[in-house]
Structure 1
């Protein structure tokens, strides 16, 4: 039996999975390997994707694909996330008991609402999913917890917690309250030096809409986006991959900055300062990734 990694009780290494994270129901083990192959990281979901009566079977499915030495036949623990049920539920305690028998140490906490809840996951790297009114309001305190490596926000659960009907307007764009929550989670994560993950796009056939939203996520600073279907992965990856022209221009800009040796200079008719250089550095980081 494994136990939470005591090394995680100190400094936690940055979250580098992504950009396309793919949810997979934990009670569908025949999909585990395919989901992992088609994405940058797979999220085995023990919460919303599994009916209440099937949760024990889902935990068993995760355990069943472990080898005799506790290794995994199909899944790389460094690219696998387990979404657990909310803290305080009977299912959460059962999830933790099962996790202790696995090599998986990155978990997504559903409906994270307070910093205190994160302490129940000491020894795990946690993606805190802020998807209720309380979770959004407390996002900064949640992000500050040492074992939190990233924050993600959830639109539909949030609107349900508010008594609303839908996170989006008729034109497909987010309602104002959803946009506020999205921004609040992004700001809280980045202020704490943690990664931010954008919510899922539920209209699976609308890849154009997904592309627009993913491009906005990249431009806004989200480090990854969650997917609910394998067909969405390529679109998210394309949005996160800078074009060759953007990479060339970023490299030229940084070379020009090095040659200029001053804080502010002109490049191709534009005034360049520190923030613009940081944008160029971010472009090159995404290209390397």
Structure 2
């Protein structure tokens, strides 16, 4: 699995590692399932969750799952890494990523690095460029806690400047390294309007996907990332016109069209593909 193939679609879904009864349903519901050995599992269930995930992996499509292990330096990290050694093709999500070595230590697994501390956000360019990095995600809740903040959002609903800056830095670092940037979860499961707004903003900014914590969030994320029929039609018209102009700058519908707009049109069609 390469960086370009780490995501099958825009909606990732976390699933507790100690709930194997949910694994198949989660895989069917989302584009990529993150089998979670970290936050979704209590300390007394870590071993059981690890065993359940390892037992289930042979029956799951490795392109459809990630496994979020426990963070480096925790009591469970080494056991998680050893347990997954028999499945080198399975992608791993490493939480609390703070340096390139956190990615490189997990070779040969493809790694999605989760930057959710001030140190991790500042080191994002080096982390994204590390050998084996296949994606970069940011985590809002842990980041706010690490910053000593009280809330990541302003009263109006958007992210506060310090948090928005971290989000933007992750986007830039991922795109500069050529790996997909993944937007953080929304922990308020019932607030689908904020999720819709966050998702629309994420795709407009350039994020490749967004993580979910409940199946009800998946459809909202997919809808936000899916180009509209009008956007698809315009992209096709633009690319068709480009062929007639042999790749040069031209005018279409009163607008100048050049290479960046054509690149955007190709991305729209890629996102619209089934």
**TM-score bracket for this pair, using the shorter chain length:** over 0.9
Mean Cα deviation higher: 237-246 or 145-154: 237-246
Tell me, yes or no, if structure 1 residue 199 matches structure 2 residue 190: no
Structure 1 residue runs without a partner (length 5+)? 1-7
Aligned to 1:41: 32
Shift of 1:258: 1.4
Structure 2 residue runs without a partner (length 5+)? none
Tell me, yes or no, if structure 1 residue 55 matches structure 2 residue 13: no
Matches within 5 A, 1:185-264: 185-261=170-246, 263-264=248-249
Aligned to 1:147: 132
Aligned to 1:279: 264
CA deviations 1:76-135 (Å, max 9, x no partner) are 111110001111222110101111244652010000000122221010000000000000
Shift of 1:153: 0.2
How many residues matched? Answer: 274
Q: Say if 1:109 and 1:126, in contact at 8 Å, map to a contact too.
A: yes
Equivalent residue in structure 2 for 1:172, among 146, 157, 160: 157
Q: Say if 2:16 and 2:36, in contact at 8 Å, map to a contact too.
A: yes
Alpha-carbon distance between aligned partners in 2 of 1:199 and 1:181, rounded to the nearest angstrom: 11
Aligned to 1:17: 8
RMSD: 1.6
Alpha-carbon distance between aligned partners in 2 of 1:220 and 1:22, rounded to the nearest angstrom: 21
Aligned to 1:3: none
Cα gap change, 1:262 to 1:77, in 2 (>3 Å): closer
Q: Say if 1:80 and 1:104, in contact at 8 Å, map to a contact too.
A: no
Secondary structure of residue in 1 paired with 2:108: coil
Alpha-carbon distance between aligned partners in 1 of 2:194 and 2:124, rounded to the nearest angstrom: 27
Shift of 1:30: 1.1
Which TM-score applies when normalising by structure 1?
0.91
Secondary structure of residue in 2 paired with 1:90: coil
Alpha-carbon distance between aligned partners in 2 of 1:251 and 1:12, rounded to the nearest angstrom: 27
